[in-house]
Structure 1
Amino acid sequence: MSGEKVKGNMLNVCLYICGFFLLWEWLRPLEQLTDTANLGVFIIFLVVSLVLALLKVNVFLRNGIKLLYVLYTINFLYYEGSFFRLKWLLTIADSLIDNMRAVFQGDWTSLTDDFRSILFFILLGLMAYLLRYWLINRKQIFIFFFMTLLYITVLDTFTPYEAKFAIVRTIIVGFALMGILTFYRILDREKLQMPPGFVKKWLAPFVVMLGVSVIIGYIAPKASPIWPDPVPYIKSYSQDSGEGLTGAKKVGYGENDTNLGGPFLPDDTVVYETEADHRQYWKVETKDVYTGKGWISAEENGERIAFDMDEEFPISSYSDEEMKVDERTAIVRPLAQYPHIIYPLGLKHVENDVGHSYEVDVSLEKIYGAELGNLPGIGQYTVEYESPRFSMSRMTSAVDQNHPLLTEEFMEHYTQLPDSLPERVRDLAIELTQDKENWYDKAKTIEQYFGRVDFQYDQRDVAVPGRNEDYVDQFLFETQKGYCDNFSTSMVVMLRSIGIPARWVKGYTEGDFRGMTDSGQRLYVITNNNAHSWVEVFLPEVGWVPFEPTKGFSNNVQISNDLDNEQTNQQDDVLEAPEAPEVEKPEEKEAPLESPTSTFSWSDLGDKIKQFFQTHWEWMIGSMIVLALISYMIYRKRLKWLPYYLLFRFKKRKKDEDFPVAYVTLLKQLERYGLKRKPEQTLREYARYIDYYFSSGEMSALTSTYEQYVYKGKLQDGSWENTKELWENLIKKTIA
């Protein structure tokens, strides 16, 4: 195969690969937005279709292979028995006849899943054929590229699908495709040939240009949207417009937790900004009574205790007076009109610039502004708190049931469960913890139980318990799919079922890290997407200890492992939030999770790099301009230095295969020097012209050897060694 054909095939492979990735962007949202499962089999079908097209397999053989794959997949997914027992073909034939009858009758709801899959395979086959037609025959892809962008941006705007990186991927792939196709069209229009190394030299600057453009586009400052988000405006026409309407609720903090379950839609409205030197959860309230469907407070209008900014917070979460703590301060800027404040674990003081005082609801541990019960006038406030380092030895100590803090009223309050709770919930908790001796180990075992692969984190496909179903029982034994409310409520109920006092806590995760402030604090932005719920367990020797059962989250609890008198701070594993920004009620959007004891974090590094680029983008653009000017000057002076580079490049080459490359390089150098070959000139005529110009016979000798290579397809042994000196002499003569 000639070099030209090899290069052409390489470019075709690049075209098909880029085309596949562009088509893949159409499939990525399906698992999140539809009931489509086993997406991998459809992606494999696409790959098979494009590979067969690339290899130019006979059309009948090609379609036969694809049909065989479709039949095998349908048998694997929907039918029992071996693929090679052909009786199932009669069943699928009957299914096709029934489904076609339903299609002609317009009864779309009667279509079976296997028939829907077949239709989807047909659609993908047509898409693969059209993609091949656009890429190879028409050599134009802009319309499909534009439609792909339109498709993912519409989904990003009107659905929970997060297309932030999908748009970047599509831009990169689309520009790469259009660049390669433009190259092809220029070759066809100008009837140009591709000499050795031509494609590589054209492709290298194109890849560099594309990469630099993407990097600049990513790191450069971006203006805020000019148009407001149209989704709330459009949804306003359908919200509460009729009776009995049900659907996904909007994510964010809410007071009504009586009926948990069901899907949630994202909301990135910013509600708080915080400045802190430590990442932690932000608490709003606790709930103590589980009803079987959700949570309520034992006292609807409980006792409120007033305190002002000069007084300590009247409620303490700790019973261990010797607990080691880190004194910390954080600044909170409320951006939403809530009548409460958020606060971290270990709160001591709340201060503000206008002297507001506060009230805390004892039953909820929820802090309100004392002035008319709201905080809009307070604005920014500062919280002083003690970040605890829980002692492992005290948490794992045996529990004395006669401990003065474990009063009958306290235990009854925080181990309350409805009589309707299915017994299998308690049986599961007993089975998991039967070999554990203390409350902490039991709680930790149950917390870790939710990390099993059986449990899935999901905000869309979340069930709502029926009239006679228990919320926790449904999650543990039926769906095993949900968001933080499912995980946290289930852990509290399981702990209570074995006599361990626990409560349900609501608030926010730390939010999205946005960089460092001038004061050295870390700036976080908390949106409705960061609303969250977790668990607090009461250990008599310590107090209320936070636990995080939700899959993919960490509450950054610090524990001193002093079991062997070794004071080593250890921290719960920090787990990344799920792949796409997580949205729920309450739930966390994917955000950089930082660890104060961690020495390295990819997310933190990425944020710092992005912040550096955003801070120094003017300097970087200026540097790039200077580099561009320097590169231009170097290019302009190439006749002075390029010959030396070529001599160095071919100095140690000794193989005869290097001669054709060296000869083509010499032709290009002569053209750069100004001795351009005319279109009607043969190589021999051009060689005589060069020899006449330089008063030598070197070019004719080189051309004679090159013609042997062109017409005979091979060179005599030692051709390059015998002609290398002639080649070097001509290169030296082009030094300006």
Structure 2
Amino acid sequence: MDEANTQAQNSTSGGRVSLRVLLTQDWHRKLTCLFTVLFLLQFVSWFAAEENMWWPETVAMVQVSLWISFAIDIIPGVNMWLRRCVQLWALIIVNGIYSGYEPVMYKLHSRQDFGNWVYDNFWQLHPYIWFSLGAWAVYWATSWWLKSRWRIGITVILSVLVFAVRDSFSTLHLWEETALVIFCGLMLLVISHFAEVKRKNPYGWAYLMEYPATLIATILLLLGITMIPGTAMPTIRPILTDPYTAYKQWKGEEVPAYGKTIAGLTIGSSANSSSGYSRDDSSLGGSFTFDYSPVFSVDTSHRAYMRGETRSYYNGNGWEMSDGDKQAVNGPVVPGNPLAKDQRFNVSKLKTVTVKQTVERLNEDDAYPVLFGAYAVNKVGTINNETSGAERLRWAPRQMELRWNNSRRDNYPTSYTIESEMPVSTGDELRSAGALPNPAQFSEYLQLPRDLPQRVRQMAQQITATGATPYDKAMLLVQYLQTSFPYTNEPPTELGKSGDFVDRFLFEIKEGYCDYFSSAMAVMSRTLGIPSRWVKGYTAGQQDIQDPSFGEFPVDGTDDGTGSGLYTVRNSDAHSWVELYFPGYGWIPFEATSGFALPAFTPASETALPDLAADPVDGTAAGETEATPAANKGNPYLVAAIVAAVVLLTGAAGWWYRKKILVWAKKSRLLGVKRSYNPDQRIVSEYARMLKVYRRRGVPIHEYETARETIERLKRKDVWLSKDLDDLLTLFEKAKYSPRRVTDEESGRAIRIVDKLKKAT
């Protein structure tokens, strides 16, 4: 009788009661689905942070697929299998809309016609449909699995272990994901417990439902007591060493450090990390050792930095993709066709020069999320020597990036050709660019943390007080950073106490490597209202040319003004710099790191561009590593006379020397002297090149010393290079004095040692 009265009341109480019934019906299953989605999204967040795994479009499609599956799953009064069918069709429709699906019609006269019709229609959804269906299958399986408390417990424990291991042995930060996994697990346990209470004790459950607010408040209070203290506690260094680290140290082995920072303190900053292209830039800092292993070779028409990716969001410790970059739709790449431009910005005044490059991968184990090339890439020619194979390549016009889907390492191209348009606008032109027409349009590139220390803004204002234009202010920042802070790969991070990375560098650490200089340049530019974005990639690399006119010694670089030729890019060439925006000219690269300069190029048709070889924005002269001292203004005529005399004397000496060498070369040909080295001669030549490197750095080299005495003296100066110097001495003595011939492998080892000494000294 009571049930009949209740039903009658429900039927006559109006739509509000009916809606309440619909929302509360099967509540435990709906809440289980909700927290299952939140649980799975933490794994998606992890995969998104792995730059070598998923495109941003893939991440977005998986997230949408999970939420669509959840939304359809909580529709009341629908059969389970019907829900599955609706989910499947919804995912196919969403993928079709995203992929720009266009129906392909066939007259189905045979089985082959039917197969072609299925292939041509379904293939348009590739590859995102597979990720959507995979996410849907995982959601379905996980929802079924997480129905009992022991399953929930095992799943959460294993998930936390996986996140903890990946966080510990990578540059990724997965602390937030781990905390949310634990939270979802606790909520699933609570839901499972109350579902069991309702099933076994319906009367007790009915009593609890009379006071739902009290029940919910109690649950939230217990979860808050459990979660909030753990997440709110200040982060400190670990007191105890974890078992893996203790075991490795007991065996006398080093444990890799990944340069993560906590509240301004670098964890594991013992210089165990090696140089190379970064995978995670959200927390910069720490130390590294130089890795001279080759990455790729570049046959280029103009010497240029090899640009990879950009980051626009500064979080106080490093750089991340902005929301705009994450949400932007990227397009396919058609080899031979020009790539799409970023229509948000006007670049009508920009002057460029065409750069053609062929890139060959030298290390099969290396794979990257992008293809590298001179800025800015305009066309893709071939991939693996074919005009096809660009299905995995996507073009991101906002960041001007060629993104490669690296789901498998063996997919990364072994070679590719590209064509770029490199900016060559002069300083005078950029000074005339003027202010931003609409600063709100550039908010993404002017973003700064709310807690950025005020002294960073004040320093930027003081440095640029004499700058009349944004370009002048940018150049003053470049000059200040390059001349005020020394370069080092082992900055004293223990001096840093500030919570902001740039503030620590400018006021506490006061030395560092490219990430420190480029971040400071980008942040200080933003405080002045100049849009900036952080760029990472590689420098131009090294070109080693054998020139017979210079005898037996190799010559670095070319005398060609374009710097064309074949370059080898190594992990030690990994680098970061900045790009600033100027109205009418677009994004222009700037180099703020001490000892580095962007490659220069002067178009043949514009020989009178006085700023081009002097301004870092246009590329300071190739090979120039220090700021040129100011000229003596007391007597400009005397200075001009001295400069003219030096130029004339240098030219005359060069002409005489070259003529003498050519005469010697002609005699050598007549006498049958071979120009090529044997391994012994190569090692002797490399030893002489090493002495030249030290002599150029001001280290005296005495002719009366033996090779062993010289090496012993250099070892006292550079203790950390003792092993390399000893190895080179052993090879030199064997090549010079031993009756046994050295091998090609030993000759190659000598070359690598001298290359390392050249960069490390």
Higher Rg of the two aligned structures: 1
TM-score by length of structure 1 reads 0.43
Scaled by the length of structure 2, the TM-score of the pair is 0.42
